[in-house]
Structure formats: structure tokens, C-alpha cells
């Protein structure tokens, strides 16, 4: 694996690969890599000639400084995992390499409704920061395909919108959410859970399965109430949202109809850790 810290060196290398007609797959990450990331690298490998992974903990997407300070950094383990997975390139830039003119956005991205609901409502500014960094990374790497995980469903919608706004010539390929045997979705934040919190955290997945099983039998508000009970009884101390919405627009639904693409999404705190997960119904 070649590690590049500087944009100019990475671009020189990629330009010669592109001249040879090789396709580039890109997996952006903030490190603290887990099996979910590795499954995206594998997906990228089976769809590209060269795979670039980036590790950059983007300061502009954290609306809560405490969350940024506590974000796990495991760079040595990350490099070993990427090497073991035969990743071609790791891009490991500094903040000044990514934001040479400063971190302030000159003009906000016009993301519309998808920026203001669910994650957007609870983490103001988060999706502007995500758009800013992914826009910059796409300008640098110019990949044919961008690989993103379904766990961050709303993030995928936001990035798709940004790609359209900025006319990037990159296609998004979505990887399935990788789960532990218990159903808990792989996440870098799981590193911050104690063993008993990890056990309780399974309730998010169980809640999504409960919604899936009962979506045609109960009303949406009944499901939301019952799931809130399941989560509280399992030790979740605070719930940001239990949403059952249109999977194309994220607009709320009054009733379930099998002809409307529908998704359930949950965000809730176990101890100090905020977890998210979703299931397409
Ligand atoms: O999902 C993430 O890890 C981040 O939001 C991303 C896409 C790497 C941008 O910083």
C-alpha cells in the first residue's frame, strides 16, 4: 500500500494510472476502521482497478466539539487492516492540506429538505461539513466510483445531491450495512461502548426488525410508541428520532403503503454514545 499525505503526490500517481485507462474506486473514511469499512474496500476492489481509501477526521462535520474530541483515532491499526486487505492507496491528509484557505465555507450547499430533517435537525451544520469534505476529496481523487455504506443512509442522499450540484463525474455504489452476529451495525462509535452497553445496543436492530414485521399491521404512530418503549427498557437513555419515512425524499408518512418506498431510521443514545441505524422496509 502506498501512503500519500500530499495532494500533489497522490494526483501525480493517479494521473498516470488514469492515462493507462485504469478505473479508480474511492472509499472515504474517518478512520477507526472496522469490518464495515473493510467490506466497502472489498466492494471497491471488485469494481475498480485501483482502490483509494482516505482517512481524515473532518472537523467541519462535527456540530458538537466533545464528539470531535472523543472521536477514536486508531491510525496504526487502520494501516495494518488496510494493508492486510491489499488496499492500493491510503490518502492521509492534514487539515491544512484539505482546507488550505481555512475551514469556513464560502457558500453553503443548497441541499434542500434532506439537510433539515432527521440527522440534519439534530446535528445542524453536519451535512454542510460532510458535503464540503467529500466535494474536496472528489476534486482531489476524481474517482470513477465512490463507495458508501447504507448505515449512513441520509449521508448518501446528501452526497448524491452534492455530486449533482457540483457536477462531479462520480457514481455512488452503496455497500450493505455490516452487522455483528447480534445484529448490531458495525460503527466506529461502538469502540466507545462498554460490554454491557454493547449488549443493550442490539435493541436498535431489534426495533428495526420489529418495525419490519409489523409495518403492515400497526399504524406508524403505534410502532413509534412501541419502539420507544423497547429502546428505553433496553437502557437507551435518550432517543433523537424513530422515523418511518419515504425512502426517496425522507418526507414523513402518515400511513404505510407497499407501493411507496419506505425506510425506518433510528438515532438514540446509549450512555454517552449516539448510535444510528436504518432498515429499508
Ligand atoms: O461517513 C464518514 O465516515 C464521513 O462522514 C465521511 C463520508 C468520510 C466524510 O468525512
pLDDT, tens digit (0-9, with 9 covering 90-100), for 226-241: 999 999 999 999 999 9
Atom of ligand 1 nearest to the CA of 159: 7
Fold of the domain spanning 2-175: Rossmann fold (3.40.50)
Residues with CB under 6 A from ligand 1: 28-30, 58, 61, 130, 133-134, 152, 155
User: Residue 67 pLDDT more than 90?
Assistant: no
Percent of the chain with pLDDT over 70: 100
Is 37 catalytic? The answer is yes
Residue 79's pLDDT is 98
Residues 77-97, mean pLDDT to the nearest whole number: 98
pLDDT, tens digit (0-9, with 9 covering 90-100), for 99-131: 999 999 999 999 999 999 999 999 999 999 999
Per-residue pLDDT tens digits for 7-18: 999 999 999 999
Domain ranges of the chain: 2-175, 188-275
Note whether 2-175 and 188-275 share their fold.
Answer: no
Ligand 1 atom at shortest distance from the alpha carbon of 130: 9
**Burial category of 262 from C-beta neighbours within 10 Å (exposed 0-12, middle 13-18, buried 19 and up):** buried
Catalytic residue among 9, 37, 168, 232: 37
Task: Give this prediction's pTM.
Answer: 0.95
Q: Confidence class of residue 63 from pLDDT cuts 50, 70 and 90?
A: confident
Q: At a CB cut-off of 8 Å and minimum separation 6, what does 59 contact?
A: 68, 95, 103, 129
Q: Is the pLDDT of residue 135 over 90?
A: yes
Instruction: Quote the ligand 1 centre to 155 CA distance (angstroms).
Output: 8
- CATH code: domain 188-275 is 3.30.1300.10
What pLDDT is attached to residue 228?
A: 98
Amino acid at each position: 500500500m502506498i501512503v500519500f499525505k500530499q495532494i500533489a503526490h497522490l494526483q501525480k500517481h493517479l494521473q498516470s494510472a488514469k492515462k493507462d485507462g485504469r478505473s479508480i474506486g474511492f472509499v472515504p473514511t474517518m478512520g477507526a476502521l472496522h469490518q464495515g469499512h473493510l467490506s466497502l474496500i472489498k466492494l471497491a476492489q471488485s469494481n475498480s482497478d485501483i482502490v483509494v481509501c482516505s482517512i481524515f477526521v473532518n472537523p467541519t462535520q462535527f456540530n458538537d466539539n466533545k464528539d470531535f474530541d472523543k472521536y477514536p483515532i486508531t491510525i496504526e491499526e487502520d494501516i495494518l487492516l488496510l494493508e492486510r486487505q491489499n488496499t492500493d492507496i491510503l490518502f492521509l491528509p492534514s487539515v491544512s492540506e484539505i482546507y488550505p484557505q481555512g475551514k469556513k465555507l464560502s457558500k453553503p450547499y443548497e441541499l434542500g429538505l434532506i439537510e433539515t430533517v432527521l440527522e440534519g435537525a439534530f446535528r445542524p451544520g453536519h451535512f454542510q461539513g460532510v458535503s464540503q469534505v467529500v466535494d474536496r476529496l472528489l476534486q482531489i481523487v476524481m474517482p470513477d466510483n465512490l463507495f458508501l455504506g447504507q448505515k449512513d443512509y441520509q449521508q448518501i442522499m446528501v452526497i448524491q445531491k452534492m455530486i449533482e450540484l457540483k457536477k462531479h463525474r462520480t457514481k455512488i455504489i452503496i455497500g450493505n450495512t455490516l452487522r455483528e452476529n447480534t445484529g448490531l451495525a458495525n460503527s466506529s462509535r461502538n469502540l466507545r461502548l462498554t460490554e454491557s452497553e454493547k449488549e443493550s445496543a442490539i435493541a436498535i436492530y431489534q426495533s428495526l426488525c420489529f418495525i419490519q414485521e409489523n409495518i403492515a399491521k400497526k399504524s406508524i404512530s403505534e410502532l413509534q410508541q412501541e419502539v420507544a418503549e423497547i429502546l428505553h427498557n433496553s437502557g437507551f437513555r435518550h432517543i433523537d428520532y424513530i422515523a418511518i419515512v419515504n425512502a426517496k425524499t425522507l418526507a414523513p408518512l402518515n400511513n404505510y403503503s407497499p407501493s411507496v418506498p419506505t425506510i425506518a431510521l433510528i438515532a438514540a443514545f446509549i450512555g454517552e454514545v449516539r448510535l444510528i441505524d436504518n432498515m429499508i422496509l
